[in-house]
Structure 1
Amino acid sequence: CDVCHGKRYNRETLEVRYKGKNIADVLAMTVEEAQRFFDAVPTIARKLDTLMEVGLGYIRLGQSATTLSGGEAQRVKLALELSKRDTGRTLYILDEPTTGLHFHDIELLLTVLHRLRDHGNTIVVIEHNLDVIKTADWLVDLGPEGGEKGGRILVAGTPETVAAHAESYTGQYLRKLLPPHTA
């Protein structure tokens, strides 16, 4: 509109500034930019640090939730959980959280998931990314195919156990990634 010029706030709201920025400016920032901007505000900085930890530094603070991918939405929820007090008794279920992620962001996500595990939580991840699969404590490989030709448990165990299973397609690819003495 002519008043806000697409910024979605009335004139009075846009006149309020913090360190020279109004609400529209702040919401246009990426998480990474906001992390630097709010580094002196511990409550805000902690929340932004958590979003960075799960590899979401590139999303905009004002980005509509409906524009997030499924993996991004899961990681926003994961960041929310990480910002709460950890009881060590939580079950996390993630469905392909690495979809669309750069390798570096996958490493960040794995660090967070391993930290949750190390604090006594249980994490169930439905995933096809072998870099994630090979770091699991326990795998359940379904197959042998997808759809009607699948759906049964082929093998369950460590990544090494799955890699050694003759019928497992996952195992065939996993063998190439695991050190030779383990596969």
Structure 2
Amino acid sequence: SGKRRIEIPKQRHKPNPKMMLHLRGATGNNLKNVDLDIPAGLLTCITGVSGSGKSTLINDTLFSLAANEINGASHPVAAHREVENLDLFDKVVDIDQSPIGRTPRSNPATYTGMFTPLRELFAQVPEARARGYSPGRFSFNVRGGRCEACQGDGLIKVEMHFLPDVYVPCDVCHGKRYNRETLEIRYKGFNISDVLQMTVEDALRLFEPVPSIARKLETLVDVGLSYIKLGQSATTLSGGEAQRVKLSKELSRRDTGRTLYILDEPTTGLHFHDIEALLGVLHKLRDEGNTVVVIEHNLDVIKTA
């Protein structure tokens, strides 16, 4: 019919019986003495009807156990009898849909660590060096380069009695977040405010020759986020977008190939093409030797596990 679809893999990776994580006797919430075997180095999908205990089994039991043992965390663990072979992993990462930051100042550029090399790049521009500007000059969180009228927010809060507060663009910087002197520094014709207003796709074209920035931008494209702006407030990202920004951050890190990744319904709200891109990322993580556990209802994801 000409319709595109995600094919069932022609060849599946066979689990190694000696490389299995065993969880025995899970009884948290709705779980009734559940045993779980997860093969290391593969993509495993946990599925079931709502309320059947998927999140209790994976998030409250498996992740909490692994995080406490491997990462030295202190999460409360749901009831279970025993767990074996956690030493197969050297790191555990839970990529959930919670916001990437609690304040509007947090954005994809700051969260992924891209903002530091960006500011260093602007500080290397000849005009910036002539003026003695350091990378801190291009931060909207500290005094010096930011607009002090709005303290680098670009917005002014107007308190409305008996109604929610309203935010309006700053009269001084007109929403650009920086003072006039800082905005005079340009890289290939763009100032730091222009860059924060760029989409990931546009920024990648501009910064392709800069590996430290391009690598982080490429991972955002890989997870299907080419359309978000670098300076987009964290509070305006949906749960699915926040989850994929976190996944992108993990992708840009160098890992040992022994990481346990846990994702809770990563395809929520995604278009078919984005699901295809996301699956490519998950399979890439798996092919590097990592273990991926996904809680999911989407049949396209389930059939490729």
Q: TM-score, normalised by structure 1?
A: 0.71
Describe how 1:69-108 pairs up with structure 2 within 5 A: 69-108=238-277
Residue 31 of structure 1 pairs with residue 200 of structure 2? yes
Tell me the amino acid that sits aligned with residue 97 of structure 1.
P
Tell me the amino acid that sits aligned with residue 71 of structure 1.
G
Give 3-state SS (helix, strand or coil) of 2:293's partner. strand
Q: Which residue of 1 aligns with 2:215?
A: 46
Residue 127 of structure 1 pairs with residue 296 of structure 2? yes
Higher RCO (C-alpha under 8 Å, 6+ residues apart): 2
Q: Deviations over 1:77-104 (max 9, x none)?
A: 1111111112111111111111222211
Partners of 1:78 and 1:40 lie apart in 2 by 24
Partners of 2:268 and 2:197 lie apart in 1 by 24
* Pairwise CA distance, 1:76: 1.0
Partners of 2:201 and 2:259 lie apart in 1 by 28
Give 3-state SS (helix, strand or coil) of 2:176's partner. coil
Partners of 1:64 and 1:131 lie apart in 2 by 31
Residues 117 and 123 of structure 1 are in contact (CA less than 8 Å); yes or no, is this contact kept in structure 2? yes
Q: Structure 2, unaligned stretches of length 5 or more?
A: 1-169
Partners of 1:94 and 1:71 lie apart in 2 by 11
CA RMSD in angstroms, aligned pairs only: 1.1
Give 3-state SS (helix, strand or coil) of 2:275's partner. helix
Q: Deviations over 1:108-147 (max 9, x none)?
A: 11011011111111111111211111111xxxxxxxxxxx
Q: Which residue of 2 aligns with 1:7?
A: 176
Give 3-state SS (helix, strand or coil) of 2:216's partner. helix
Q: Structure 1, unaligned stretches of length 5 or more?
A: 137-183
Q: TM-score, normalised by structure 2?
A: 0.43
Higher helix share: 1
How many pairs were matched up?
A: 136
Q: Deviations over 1:35-55 (max 9, x none)?
A: 111111111111101111111
Runs of 4+ in 1 over 4 A off after TM superposition: none
> Which residue of 8, 14, 19 maps to 2:188?
19
Residue 65 of structure 1 pairs with residue 234 of structure 2? yes
Residues 71 and 95 of structure 1 are in contact (CA less than 8 Å); yes or no, is this contact kept in structure 2? no
Partners of 1:114 and 1:75 lie apart in 2 by 15
Q: Which residue of 2 aligns with 1:112?
A: 281
Give 3-state SS (helix, strand or coil) of 1:93's partner. strand
Tell me the amino acid that sits aligned with residue 286 of structure 2.
R
Give 3-state SS (helix, strand or coil) of 1:106's partner. helix
Partners of 2:185 and 2:265 lie apart in 1 by 41
